Amino acid sequence: MDDIDAGLEHGAPVWAAFGDLMSGLLGAFVLVLVGVVAVQMELTSHLQEEVKQRQVAEQRRMSLEKALAVPLATGRIVLNNGRIGISGQVLFALNSDQLLPEGRQLLKSLVTPLQTYLAARGELLMVSGFTDDKSIRGGRFADNWELSAQRALTVTRTLIDEGMPPSMVFAAAFGSEQPVRPNTDDAARAQNRRVEMAPVPKTVNVKATSHE
């Protein structure tokens, strides 16, 4: 009897240690489970936010397409990722910032739908000028930066003259930067000589060229 009692006494610490081990393992499992759940919740939140952003972007694109349905249908402008593109050939002669009659008429037709769209969304219109990579020799402009800036200003001022509130529009110049195609031939360079107009939030932080 004494031997049995002694065995029980010796076995008690073993069971106690086993119980502590199981408690520790259970605690670790709970911590891991909590961590996994937290990660899943974060991933779900990010996914929902991404889906929401895509839905907003798609609605924005559809609204802009609807506002500009007529000029888009005639092929006078293109819409790419929310940017309204106009070929430089429609607006200006080569190396000139003087607006062609066809270009002025096109800009006039864009004022009302753009103004309505911007007002409904509380946004501004950024008018950006772009050139090809050929250096300018002689003429009024020192380089492509100056030419792109003057073209953007011409378009901006024309929009204002045709009824766009000055507080809704500003100009920016990019020179030969950001071509839509590599400047490898005349056809590509013609596409790179362009003006783009893009609705942007009022809080956008860009270095713009004044229209004054």
The CATH number for 82's domain is: 3.30.1330.60
Choose the final residue of a domain: 12, 41, 63: 63
> Over the chain, what is the mean pLDDT?
83
Which of 13-22, 25-34, 42-51 shows the lowest per-residue confidence on average (mean pLDDT)? Answer: 13-22
pLDDT digits (tens, 9 = 90+) for 76-90: 899 988 899 998 889
What's the whole-number mean pLDDT along residues 57-85?
A: 84
Tell me the residue range of the domain where 15 lies. 1-63
In the chain, the number of structural domains is 2
On whether both 122 and 135 belong to a single domain, the answer is: yes
Tokens of 193: 């000589």
Classify residue 211: in a domain, yes or no.
no
On whether both 104 and 48 belong to a single domain, the answer is: no
On whether both 109 and 189 belong to a single domain, the answer is: yes
Residue 53 predicted with pLDDT over 60 = yes
pLDDT digits (tens, 9 = 90+) for 127-175: 999 999 999 877 789 999 999 999 999 999 999 999 999 999 999 999 9
pLDDT band at 211 (very low <50, low <70, confident <90, very high): very low
Classify residue 210: in a domain, yes or no.
no
- pLDDT score, position 63: 81
Classify residue 112: in a domain, yes or no.
yes
Judge residue 162's burial from the number of C-beta atoms within 10 Å of its C-beta, 0-12 exposed, 13-18 middle, 19 or more buried.
middle
Residue 178 predicted with pLDDT over 90 = yes
Tokens of 125: 């219109």
On whether both 31 and 89 belong to a single domain, the answer is: no
pLDDT digits (tens, 9 = 90+) for 21-33: 667 777 777 777 7
Cα three-residue angle 156-162-58, rounded to 5 degrees: 65
On whether both 13 and 98 belong to a single domain, the answer is: no
- pLDDT score, position 29: 73
On whether both 76 and 134 belong to a single domain, the answer is: yes
Classify residue 194: in a domain, yes or no.
yes
Classify residue 73: in a domain, yes or no.
yes
pLDDT band at 208 (very low <50, low <70, confident <90, very high): very low
Cα three-residue angle 63-51-198, rounded to 5 degrees: 35
- 162, 173 Cβ separation under 8 angstroms: no
